[in-house]
Amino acid sequence: MKLLEKKVAAVTGGGSGIGRSVALLYAENGARVCVSDIDGEGGKKTVQQIEEAGGEAFFFKADAGKAEDNRKMVEATVEKYGALHIAFNNAGVTGPQALIGECSVEEWDRALRINLSGVFYGMRYQIPEMLKAGGGVIVNMSSVLGKVAFEGSSAYVASKHGLLGLTKTAALEYSGQGIRTVAVGPGFIQTPMISNNLSEDEVEMVRQMHPIGRLGKAEEVAELVLWLSSDKASFVSGAYIPVDGGYLAR
């Protein structure tokens, strides 16, 4: 039996990178998947890849930083598949690259809206449906920068730190009602977020910060997310689990 047989999952930021890898792996393991992204082309491509591999999925265009979009996405998933059992709240942005004293207020607000408030908005509407379904799993995308700082990335660091507090609070509130909530903390992963925002020199700099000697792959993060989303992780709730090539061991 597949790990997620008869489960319904929602993935935000599913149009590329880690989100796409998780959506593909969820479907491969039996889940029916709502792929959500603000990027329609990328999201539809993920659905196409799932369907070509024999899985079942649909695309829902949404801005993860808007409460109403999150509500509509959850409603669409339940309407199409009858329930919601798993949510991977993955959508995020890097935020402004600037010292705190020079940081754009507007860009700060945008990063916190998408990376932190957006996850709250998702959970706000995911949790009631999971309770109706008899339980579920929420996996939130944090970062190694949810545990340590990084110069010039105050908004991203603050949002990912805040996400850990939100995740732990949800675990206290809902673990007894059958909803496990966990956070994953990737190191620097080879995704469009890296390639579109860092120069070759900056990529080399962060590569050297990983004792394993390389950046991670989206598929490696997806394997952890899959395990956490399955019954094999049935006693894991409120945890923050890094997948970072030794980054936090420094």
| Active site residues per annotation | 156
Element (H, E) at 202: helix 200-207
Query: Exposure string (b/e) for 59-75, b if CB count within 10 Å is 16 or more?
Result: bbbbbbbbeebbbbbbe
Sheet arrangement for strand 32-37: 56-61, 32-37, 8-12, 86-89, 136-141, 179-186, 240-243
Provide the H-helix boundaries in 82-191.
105-112, 118-132, 154-174
Distance of CA 76 to the CA centre of its chain: 19
At a CB cut-off of 8 Å and minimum separation 6, what does 91 contact?
12, 13, 19, 36, 37, 38, 64, 65, 114, 118, 141
Q: Is 240 exposed, middle or buried (0-12, 13-18, 19+ CB in 10 A)?
A: middle
